[in-house]
Structure 1
Amino acid sequence: MTAVRLALGQERQERHDGGGGCDTAGEAADLAAFLGRLVRWDKAAVVRLRSARDEPALGVFGHPPFGGVLAVRSVALHGSAAVADAVDATVSAGQLLEAVSAAAGGFELPPSVTGPAWAGLLPPRGGWRREAEFDPGQVRKAAAEAVAEFRARTERLPQQQRTRAVLDALAEELWTRPYQGTTLRVVHAAHALGFLRGHGDDTVALLAAGPWTRLRTEYGSVAVRRESPAAGLSFSPA
């Protein structure tokens, strides 16, 4: 078992570096919220945890049900956890949620589990180049409009036509629409994961590395391989 101490997360460093201290409770709450969403969508969800030796941050990778995307959150480590051996494990998201929720500033990693195929194919650590930067309000608007259109068109369907196949086809039409170098699928996933929040000083950037693209926000990232096929509960509006 590996003890991990929580401190201010890398994804939000710029927003809080004027405060002079580590927002451990806020970091734990954000990680718990992220894990809670994954577990709500899939009670058997797993996450891949990865950090390099001497690296002060732990990468938490999840696979939400939005057609092949990966969700990424960065959790900063402090104290001995930041200089310990590298962490590379796949664990139950539910068990990790319980550990984080019960802890006061740190937690024990749950036992490793056999990971699904996606856990073996993660985005690269480095080599990212900035492709574009977006106004956060416009990204949130695009996500809200896509969800509203899905719901409106669903409501117009006769009840007998609201089958899984029909809803999946409608969702596929919407989420595969291009959006500023990525797709609405990625924007929708970021919205559903809580990565698009209504703060005026948020930043949203599109990054690329090899076959991967990544929508990065202050609260986490959504990454996808360009050739990644859609799969999963794609009709979920939120």
Structure 2
Amino acid sequence: MTVRQRLVFADPKEAAGLEAFLRRLLRWEKAAAVRIQSGGGVVGFFAKPARFEVLAVRTARLLEPADTDVTVSAGELLEGVDESAEAVTVPEAVTGPPWAGMLPPRGGWEPFGEVPADAVRAVAAAAVGEFRERAEQLGQPERTREKLDALAEEIWSRPLGRTQLPLRAVHAAHALGFLAGEGTLKLLRTGSWLRLRTPSGSVVVRGGETNTGLSVTPV
């Protein structure tokens, strides 16, 4: 019988945060996968939400060091979350999707700006509202998947203010519940990667890449 690895978090509410993240991820894709990487006393959970061309990341400190690198089913990982013990049991590995082999670098991140959380929420809400309004203005014959995808690409490819971070990163952070709370959110970069870091998790995207497959159902 295979003994499954159990990761115990060092800080309270980490298990609840992971559970909330996984539930939102599974809303977008029932067959979502998560890559887990841990080294020393830190673990990272990486996922690519369906319809978003970004990577979402949650990190946490561990009570005891662990060495883990595996891709698993998000649904099975959710079943392994134990809030009372502040722990999660790692399920059996699955064949990972292509994105799981191209994670952003662990180090080398440099800050290049900060943005107020409430301002980012306002930008996300305004963009979602614009998409819905313009989609509704299309006549029924014109409201094709092609036109809705083009509209989504136009909106979510815009930069956040004067930064290079595309709004699709903000949209994903909003959809995954990363924009709750007050304070400031940090913008970081390394090489061609850009990152929006919040207390609940990060959204990472390659700068300057063309977006495809954007969500046409904003939340």
**Which of 32, 41, 60 is the matching residue for 1:75?**
60
Note closer, same or farther for the CA distance 1:181–1:228 as it changes in structure 2 (3 Å cut). closer
Compared with structure 1, are the counterparts of its residues 72 and 166 closer, same or farther at alpha carbon in structure 2 (3 Å cutoff)? same
Task: Compute the displacement of 1:62 (Å).
Answer: 0.5
Amino acid aligned to 1:32: E
Unmatched 5+ residue regions in structure 2?
none
Matched, 1:51 2:38: yes
2:174 is matched with 191
Please, what is the CA RMSD of the aligned residues? Answer: 1.6
Matches within 5 A, 1:91-170: 91-100=72-81, 104-170=85-151
Query: CA 1:76–1:145 in structure 2 vs 1: closer, same or farther (change >3 Å)?
Result: same
Corresponding position of 2:8: 5
Structure 1 residue matching 2:217: 3-state secondary structure: coil
Asked if 1:39 is matched to 2:23, the reply is no
Post-superposition shift, 1:167? 0.9
Q: In structure 2, give the amino acid aligned to 1:188.
A: H
Give SS of 2:31's match. Answer: coil
SS of the residue aligned with 1:74? strand
**What's the CA shift string for 1:89-132, capped at 9, x where partnerless?**
00000000111158632232100011111000001111000011
Asked whether the 8 Å contact 1:2–1:109 carries over to 2, the reply is: yes
SS of 1:223 mapped into structure 2: strand
Give the distance between the partners of 2:104 and 2:184, measured in 1 at CA.
21
Structure 1, unaligned stretches of length 5 or more?
9-22
Tell me the SS of whatever aligns to 1:178: coil
Structure 2 residue 196 is matched with structure 1 residue 215: yes
Name the SS for the 1:158 alignment partner. coil
Higher helix residue share = 1
Letter of the 1:27 partner, please give it: E
The share of aligned pairs that are identical, in percent, is 52
CA distance in 1, matches of 2:55, 2:31: 16
1:4–1:108 contact (8 Å) kept in structure 2: yes
Q: Deviations over 1:160-196 (max 9, x none)?
A: 3222111111100100111122111111111111110
Aligned length: 214
TM-score (norm. length: structure 2): 0.92
SS of the residue 1:150 aligns to: helix
Displacement of 1:234:
2.2
* Residues 68 and 228, structure 1, Cα contact 8 Å, conserved in 2: no
Query: Does structure 1 retain, via aligned residues, the 8 Å contact 2:16–2:83?
Result: no
Amino acid at match of 1:31: L
Q: CA deviation at 1:27?
A: 1.7
- Give 1:43's aligned amino acid: K
CA distance in structure 1 between the aligned counterparts of 2:92 and 2:203, rounded to whole angstroms: 26
TM-score calculated relative to the size of structure 1: 0.85
Give structure 1 regions of 4+ aligned residues with deviation exceeding 3 angstroms.
Answer: 101-104
